[in-house]
Structure 1
Amino acid sequence: MKPVIELLRSSLLADFPSGSSINYYQDKLYLVGDDANNLLILDTNYKRIDTIRLFDYPVKRIPKNQKADLETSTFITLKGVTYLLVLGSASLENRKKVISIPIINSVPDINQSLLCDLYSNAFFKQLRSMGIEEVNIEGATVIGDQLVLSNRGNISKPHNHLIITKADSLSTLGEMSFSTARLVLPVNTKHFAGVSELCYVEAKNMLLLTLSSEATTNAYDDGAIGDSYVGCIYNIAEKIHQPELKLDEMHSLPPINKEFQNEKIEGICVESVNGNELLCHLISDNDRGESKLFKIKYIADGAGRK
Structure 2
Amino acid sequence: MNKLLLEILLQITGITAASGIHYQNEKLYVVSDESDYLYEYQLTANELKKHALTDNPQELRSKQTKRDYEAIAANGTDLYLFGSGSKPNRELVTQFNTQNQAVQNFSLDLLYPSIASFAEINPDELNIEGALFRGDDLLLFNRGNGANNKNFIVTVQGKNFTEEFNIFIQDIKLPQLNGINTGFSDAVLVGDKIYFLATAEGGSSTYNDGQIAGTLFGCIDTKRFKVKYTEVLSNDKKLEGLTVLNQDKKNITFLLCEDSDDSTQNVATIYKLNIKK
TM over 0.5, shorter chain: yes
Identity of aligned residues (%): 23
Q: Residues 176 and 200 of structure 2 are in contact (CA less than 8 Å); yes or no, is this contact kept in structure 1?
A: no
> What is the TM-score normalised by the length of structure 2?
0.89
Match of 1:257 in 2: none
1-side partners of 2:36 and 2:115: how far apart?
32
1-side partners of 2:34 and 2:45: how far apart?
20
What CA RMSD, in Å, does the superposition of the two structures yield over aligned residues? 2.2
Query: Residue type of the partner of 2:247?
Result: V
Aligned length: 270
Match of 1:194 in 2: 183
1:269 aligned to 2:243? yes
1-side partners of 2:72 and 2:111: how far apart?
22
Query: Residue type of the partner of 1:249?
Result: Y
Match of 2:138 in 1: 147
SS at match of 1:159: coil
> What is the TM-score normalised by the length of structure 1?
0.81
- Give per-residue Cα distances to partners, 1:68-112, cap 9 Å, x unaligned: 0001010114xxxx31100100111111121111232xxx51xx3
1:138 aligned to 2:129? yes
1-side partners of 2:169 and 2:45: how far apart?
36
Query: Residue type of the partner of 2:214?
Result: D
Match of 2:227 in 1: 247
Pick from 103, 106, 110 the counterpart of residue 113 of structure 1. 103
In structure 2, list runs of 5 or more residues that go unmatched. Answer: none
1-side partners of 2:240 and 2:51: how far apart?
20
Match of 1:9 in 2: 8
SS at match of 1:248: strand
1:170 aligned to 2:144? no
Range with bigger deviation, 213-222 or 43-52: 43-52
Q: Residues 70 and 82 of structure 2 are in contact (CA less than 8 Å); yes or no, is this contact kept in structure 1?
A: yes
1-side partners of 2:50 and 2:92: how far apart?
20
2-side partners of 1:72 and 1:24: how far apart?
13
2-side partners of 1:277 and 1:270: how far apart?
11
How many angstroms does 1:160 deviate by? 0.3
Give the number of the structure whose residues are more often helix, by fraction: 1
Alignment of 1:167-246 (within 5 A): 169-170=159-160, 174-185=163-174, 187-189=175-177, 190-202=179-191, 205-234=192-221, 236=222, 238-239=223-224, 245-246=225-226
Give the number of the structure whose residues are more often strand, by fraction: 2
Match of 1:43 in 2: 42
Match of 1:258 in 2: none
SS at match of 2:206: coil
2-side partners of 1:165 and 1:263: how far apart?
31
Query: Residue type of the partner of 2:23?
Result: Y
Match of 2:25 in 1: 26
2-side partners of 1:198 and 1:49: how far apart?
24
How many angstroms does 1:6 deviate by? 2.6
Match of 2:273 in 1: 296
Match of 1:61 in 2: 60
In structure 1, list runs of 5 or more residues that go unmatched. Answer: 240-244, 255-260, 301-306
SS at match of 1:125: helix
- Give per-residue Cα distances to partners, 1:276-300, cap 9 Å, x unaligned: 2101100110011233210111222
How many angstroms does 1:149 deviate by? 0.2
